[in-house]
């Protein structure tokens, strides 16, 4: 287990020209701890990294699904940002049955080719079982409140979309989710994600880059219309960004846009996984009357 400090030495304020350090209690809240577990799945053990606040207490849980490159340093930094805002974050290795535990693919042509090859070798059933295993583990984690959300990028965006079909998931954030519009995820390249839309009961935040060639305008329109026709609870944002614009490594990273999107995601998770924002039936609120 290791502790990760998110900017603990930041100095704030001004006192007669002297900068004042943050209070110790505030620094403690910005420290997270990391660990890993090997979760049993139908296709063997799945290495899963766990990041959470070091401060005692219970926090909502998030599953973060990675790109085709598995758990890279940019994915770890995204997980750290989420955990540092008060969440227990589980990051599973999406290709655990094909690669050694702890293996991440490089952000290069060879890594992309291998990741894409495995993407359509693994079965849809395998992806779904992995998602359920991670959700089940997180729900029973002693530091988790049992309120769950999901998030992912690229391949992970599609996996988060499918994981949101589990009834325990209250909120999901999907960054430029690939293959939904083409129904091309998994072995046989014939997934049923669009057919199962109505199984999603939580609120979704869908984020896209207009300059992303993997999900063109026609594909985004197809997904938007299908979600609207299914009467899902979702918000939709299209930005001037390329594929993987949130990945803080490489030429496509857009820092300003990334922070804007993190804010949107955190707002959703804090609202849906906190103590408020219950459905009307659960909260006991009276139905709106006609005027």
Q: What is the domain-level CATH number for residue 264? A: 3.40.50.1820
Give the total residue count for the chain: 291
Q: Is 236 exposed, middle or buried (0-12, 13-18, 19+ CB in 10 A)?
A: middle
Candidates 116, 68, 71; CA nearest to 89 is 71
Candidates 197, 208, 102; CA nearest to 154 is 208
Q: Is 1 exposed, middle or buried (0-12, 13-18, 19+ CB in 10 A)?
A: exposed
Residue 23 lies in a domain: no
Does the structure show a pLDDT above 50 at 268? yes
What is the average pLDDT across 276-289? 55
Does the structure show a pLDDT above 90 at 187? yes
pLDDT of residue 7: 43
- Provide the 3-class DSSP secondary structure of residue 18: strand
| 59 close to 145: Cβ distance less than 8 angstroms | yes
> Which residue of the set 168, 179, 191, 212 is catalytic?
212
pLDDT of residue 136: 98
> Which residue of the set 96, 141, 158, 243 is catalytic?
243
Candidates 87, 91, 88; CA nearest to 101 is 91
Does the structure show a pLDDT above 80 at 277? no
Chain segment 8-27, per-residue pLDDT in tens = 333 333 444 444 444 444 44
- Mean pLDDT of all residues in the chain? 90
Residue 17 lies in a domain: no
What is the average pLDDT across 87-101? 98
In degrees and rounded to multiples of 5, residue 7 shows phi and psi of: 50, 55
Residue 197 lies in a domain: yes
Residue 216, C-beta contacts closer than 8 angstroms, at least 6 positions apart: none
Residue 283 lies in a domain: no
> Which residue of the set 154, 168, 181, 191 is catalytic?
154
pLDDT of residue 279: 58
* Segment among 34-48, 51-65, 100-114, 263-277 with least mean pLDDT: 263-277
User: Parallel, antiparallel, or unpaired for β 44-53 and 31-41?
Assistant: antiparallel
Residue 190 lies in a domain: yes
Per the structure, the count of domains in the chain is 1
Q: State which residues form the domain around 148.
A: 2-7+28-274
Residue 18 lies in a domain: no
Tell me the C-alpha to C-alpha distance, in Å, between residue 13 and each of 22, 24, 166, 225.
9, 15, 45, 49
Residue 290 lies in a domain: no
Chain segment 246-265, per-residue pLDDT in tens = 999 999 999 999 999 999 99
Respond yes or no: is residue 243 known to be catalytic.
yes
What is the average pLDDT across 99-108? 98
Chain segment 131-147, per-residue pLDDT in tens = 999 999 999 999 999 99
Name the band, by pLDDT with cuts 50, 70 and 90, for residue 275.
confident
Chain segment 138-181, per-residue pLDDT in tens = 999 999 999 999 999 999 999 999 999 999 999 999 999 999 99
d(CA 109, CA 97): 22
- Provide the 3-class DSSP secondary structure of residue 93: coil
Residue 287 lies in a domain: no
């Amino acid at each position: 287990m290791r502790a990760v400090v998110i900017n603990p030495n930041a100095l704030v304020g001004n006192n007669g020209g002297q900068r004042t350090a943050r209070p110790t209690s505030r620094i403690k809240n910005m420290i997270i701890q990391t660990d890993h577990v090997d979760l049993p799945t139908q296709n063997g053990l799945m290495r899963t990294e766990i990041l959470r606040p070091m401060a005692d207490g219970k926090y909502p849980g998030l599953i973060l699904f990675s790109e085709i490159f598995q758990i890279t340093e940019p994915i770890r930094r995204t997980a750290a940002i989420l955990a540092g805002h008060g969440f227990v974050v589980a990051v599973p290795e999406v290709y655990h049955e094909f690669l050694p535990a702890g293996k991440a693919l490089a952000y290069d042509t060879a890594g992309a080719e291998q990741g894409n090859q495995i993407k359509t070798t693994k079965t849809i059933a395998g992806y779904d079982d992995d998602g359920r295993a991670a959700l089940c583990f997180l729900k029973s984690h002693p530091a988790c409140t049992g309120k769950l959300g999901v998030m992912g990028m690229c391949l992970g965006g599609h996996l988060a979309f499918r994981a949101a079909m589990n009834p325990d998931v209250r909120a999901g954030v999907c960054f430029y989710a690939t293959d939904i519009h083409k129904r091309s995820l998994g072995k046989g390249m014939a997934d049923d994600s669009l057919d199962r839309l109505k199984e999603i009961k939580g609120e979704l935040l869908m984020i896209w880059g207009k300059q992303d060639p993997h999900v063109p305008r026609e594909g985004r329109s197809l997904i938007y219309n299908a979600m609207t026709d299914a009467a899902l609870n979702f918000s939709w944002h299209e930005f001037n960004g390329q594929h993987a614009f949130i990945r803080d490594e490489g030429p496509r990273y857009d820092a300003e846009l990334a922070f804007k999107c993190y804010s949107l995601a955190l707002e959703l998770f804090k609202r849906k996984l906190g103590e408020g924002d219950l459905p009307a039936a659960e909260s006991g609120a009276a139905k709106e009357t006609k005027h």
